[in-house]
Structures are given as structure tokens and as C-alpha cells.
């Protein structure tokens, strides 16, 4: 199943192949086989082409919006894929996840020590990729470095807040929204803004791209968290209820817990931080509660609200092929089932 998710995305969005091929070609040159060390092999596995490459594609498209050509943003796109891959390796370490995108996670395949070092190897290559833009005006290059650094910082802080929420018994919608804004949205808004900068956008235009990415990131994460509870394992490439087992609280669970009986609420809390498997009756009961309370519909409405905000940010962008592709990608990500 190594390439199943990536292939599924390309089948849904045929034009994406051109962009993915450009990025994957550059990624393949970073750790080409044969690998002399285990951490190089682990890093190469973490960068495998089975992901959707959303961040890379956003950087390329926003560069194309303002320059008519996505190719100048390829090193930047690779930088964000490196940062994202590093974050996923750490995420699986923290969550004790054995599966990622339908195959063994890096920590399960290569061991804890090698996974930590591979994550570092990926992350420390990020500034090296950005440094390829030495021909840019120094102020613009400094802003791109700042965007990349801030995205990595915010993602780390968001992961910490996610853990803090998982350790507690309570969590509000506001807590959740702030957490996913940091953990997910900044690593989508930064590629948009910096891709626009590489394409020659003004500061105002780059801010517009950033707003688009932040709204899209919020929609993306709410959808992802909802799929963890109601999705299909074969489509997701990982077991459902993974976040629930780790005590993670999504907007779906928070809404349901505040709109059900005290007995049902105690049942929901009993499912958090579960070490063993969930029974079919437990899964059915929880999914029934989510539907009965309207929590799934509530989350979907949030996804559509954030999606509309992303589209609104595109409203002042001149018509172009890249703008049309951004709109199509936005609709796809909001409606995806994996």
C-alpha cells in the first residue's frame, strides 16, 4: 500500500502529477539508494511519495499565481516537505503509532533512536534548501527564513498543546482551534506566503496567501480529525480511533460531550487513552452518539466555513490557471475521505 494514498490523490486530481513529479524528483536526490546508514534509509522512507504533498503543492501554485511558473519554488516546496516529514516522524514517536499511510511508521520500522535521528536529519536540511535562494533580495530572503522557522516553531508548540489537551479531561472548542492553528495551519500558511514571495508577490499579496493557507489548514485538520472517528481504515491507511486511543480531543468529541447525557459523556471519556483494542459495540455506540448529537454535521459545517474563508482570500487574486487549481484543490481537501 506504499503509494496507494498518493496515487488516489493523483487519480482524483490528474493535473497534480506534474507538480508532484517535480518535487519528488528533487526529493529523490537527497537520500538516493543505496543508503550507507540506517538513518538515511529512515529519512528516505519518511519522504516516500505516498503522501499528498499538500504543502509543496501550495508553495508551487502560489509561486505560479504571481510569476506564471511554479519551478522557482521547487526548492522551497522540498523544504516544507522535509519539515512536514520530520514532524510526522515525531508525531508517530509521541503517539506510539505503528502505521503511517498504510505501511509501518518510521519508528516501528527503524526503531526509536534511528527515528529521532532521521527526524533531525530531515529538519536540518530545511535551511539548506531555503539557502538556495541566495539570489533573492536579502530582506525577502530573510522573511522566507522567518516564515519557515516560525512554521516549525508553531508546529512544535501546537504538538505540545495537543499533548496537554490529551492529558486533561476537559477541552474547549477554543482550545482545540488554537491548537490546530499552531499544529497544522501554520505549516500550510507558510508555504503559501513564501511561495508567493518567491513568485514576486508584494507583502500585501503574501499576507493574502497566508490567510488562504491558514483557513485551508483549519479545514484540513478538522476534516482529518473527523475521519479518525468515522472514516474507513482501508481508505485512511491507518486504524481509526488512533487519536482517541492517544487521548486526543477533536471538535467532534468536544461538541458531542457537551450535547449528550452524563452517562454517555462518561462513556466517551472512558474511551480516551485506551491501551487495548476497541470492541465493535463501543465503536458503534460512539459513532451513533456522534450522529445523534449532530457533532459530525457540526464538524462538517466548520470545515465548510473554513473552506469558504480560504476561497474568499482568493477573491482578489486575478484569474489564472494556478488560481483555478487552488480552488479545485481546496474543494478536494475539504471533501476528501482519506
| Residues 187/150, Cβ–Cβ less than 8 Å | no
* Cell output for 95: 503517539
| Domains of the chain and CATH, by start | 4-335 (1.10.600.10)
**Other C-beta atoms lying within 10 Å of the C-beta of residue 301:** 12
- Alpha-carbon span 326 to 320, nearest angstrom: 10
Cα separation, 176 vs 171, in Å, equals 7
Alpha-carbon span 191 to 56, nearest angstrom: 7
Q: For the packed helices 280-292 and 262-271, what is the interaxial angle rounded to 10 degrees?
A: 130
**pLDDT by residue (tens digit) across 244-283?**
988 999 999 999 999 999 999 999 999 999 888 899 999 9
Q: For every residue of the chain, which 3-state class applies, written as one string?
A: CCCHHHHHHHHHCCCHHHHHHHHHHHHHCCCCCCCCCHHHHHHHHHCCCCCCCHHHHHHHHHHHHHHCCCHHHHHHHHHHHHHHHHHHHHHHHHHCCCEECCEECHHHHHCHHHHHHHHHHHHHCHHHHHHHHCCCCHHHHHHHHHHHHHHHHHHHHHHHHHHHHHHCCCCCHHHHHHHHHHHHHHHHHHHHHHHHHHCCCCHHHHHHHHHHHHHHHHHHHHHHHHHHHHCCHHHHCCCCCHHHHCCCCCHHHHHHHCCCCHHHHHHHHHHCCCCCCCCHHHHHHHHHHHHHCCHHHHHHHHHHHHHHHHHHHCCCCCCCHHHHHHHHHHHHHHHCCC
CA distance 195 to 296: 34
Model pLDDT for residues 22-56, shown as the tens digit of each residue: 999 999 999 999 999 999 999 999 998 667 899 99
Q: Supply the pLDDT for residue 148.
A: 97
Q: Please report, for residues 87, 90, 155, 221, the alpha-carbon distance to residue 115 in angstroms, rounded to integers and kept in the order given.
A: 11, 8, 18, 24
Q: What is the pLDDT of residue 2?
A: 41
Give the Cβ contact number of residue 245 at 10 Å.
21
In whole angstroms, what is the distance from residue 186 CA to residue 84 CA?
11
pLDDT of residue 3: 42
In the chain, which residues have pLDDT < 70? Answer: 1-10, 49-50, 234-238, 337-338
Q: Determine the pLDDT at residue 303.
A: 97
pLDDT of the residue at 175: 96
Are 299 and 326 spatial neighbours (Cβ–Cβ below 8 Å)? Answer: no
Amino acid at each position: 500500500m506504499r503509494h496507494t494514498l498518493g496515487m488516489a490523490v493523483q487519480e482524483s486530481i490528474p493535473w497534480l502529477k506534474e507538480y508532484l513529479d517535480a518535487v519528488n524528483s528533487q526529493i529523490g536526490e537527497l537520500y538516493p539508494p543505496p543508503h550507507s546508514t540506517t538513518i538515511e534509509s529512515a529519512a528516505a522512507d519518511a519522504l516516500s511519495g505516498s503522501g499528498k504533498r499538500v504543502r509543496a503543492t501550495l508553495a508551487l501554485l502560489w509561486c505560479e499565481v504571481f510569476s506564471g511558473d511554479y519551478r522557482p519554488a521547487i526548492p522551497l516546496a522540498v523544504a516544507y516537505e522535509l519539515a512536514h516529514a520530520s514532524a510526522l516522524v515525531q508525531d508517530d514517536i509521541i503517539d506510539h503509532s505503528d502505521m503511517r499511510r498504510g505501511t509501518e511508521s518510521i519508528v516501528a520500522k527503524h526503531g526509536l533512536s534511528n527515528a529521532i535521528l532521521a527526524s533531525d536529519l530531515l529538519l536540518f536540511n530545511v535551511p539548506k534548501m531555503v539557502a538556495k535562494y541566495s539570489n533573492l533580495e536579502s530582506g525577502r530572503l530573510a522573511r522566507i527564513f522567518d516564515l519557515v522557522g516560525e512554521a516549525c516553531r508553531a508546529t512544535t508548540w501546537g504538538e505540545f498543546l495537543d499533548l496537554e489537551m490529551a492529558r486533561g479531561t476537559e477541552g474547549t472548542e477554543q482550545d482545540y482551534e488554537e491548537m490546530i492553528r499552531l499544529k497544522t495551519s501554520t505549516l500550510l500558511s507558510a508555504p503559501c506566503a513564501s511561495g508567493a514571495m518567491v513568485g514576486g508577490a508584494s507583502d500585501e499579496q503574501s499576507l493574502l496567501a497566508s490567510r488562504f493557507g491558514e483557513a485551508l489548514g483549519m479545514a484540513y485538520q478538522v476534516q482529518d480529525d473527523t475521519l479518525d472517528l468515522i472514516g474507513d481504515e482501508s481508505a485512511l491507511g491507518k486504524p481509526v480511533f488512533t487519536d482517541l486511543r492517544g487521548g486526543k480531543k477533536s471538535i467532534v468529541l468536544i461538541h458531542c460531550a457537551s450535547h449528550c447525557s452524563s452517562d454517555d459523556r462518561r462513556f466517551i471519556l472512558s474511551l480516551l487513552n485506551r491501551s487495548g483494542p476497541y470492541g465493535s459495540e463501543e465503536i458503534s455506540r460512539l459513532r451513533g452518539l456522534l450522529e445523534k448529537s449532530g457533532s459530525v454535521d457540526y464538524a462538517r459545517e466548520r470545515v465548510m466555513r473554513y473552506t469558504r474563508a480560504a476561497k474568499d482570500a482568493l477573491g482578489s487574486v486575478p484569474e489564472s490557471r494556478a488560481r483555478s487549481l487552488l480552488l479545485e484543490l481546496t474543494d478536494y481537501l475539504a471533501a476528501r475521505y482519506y
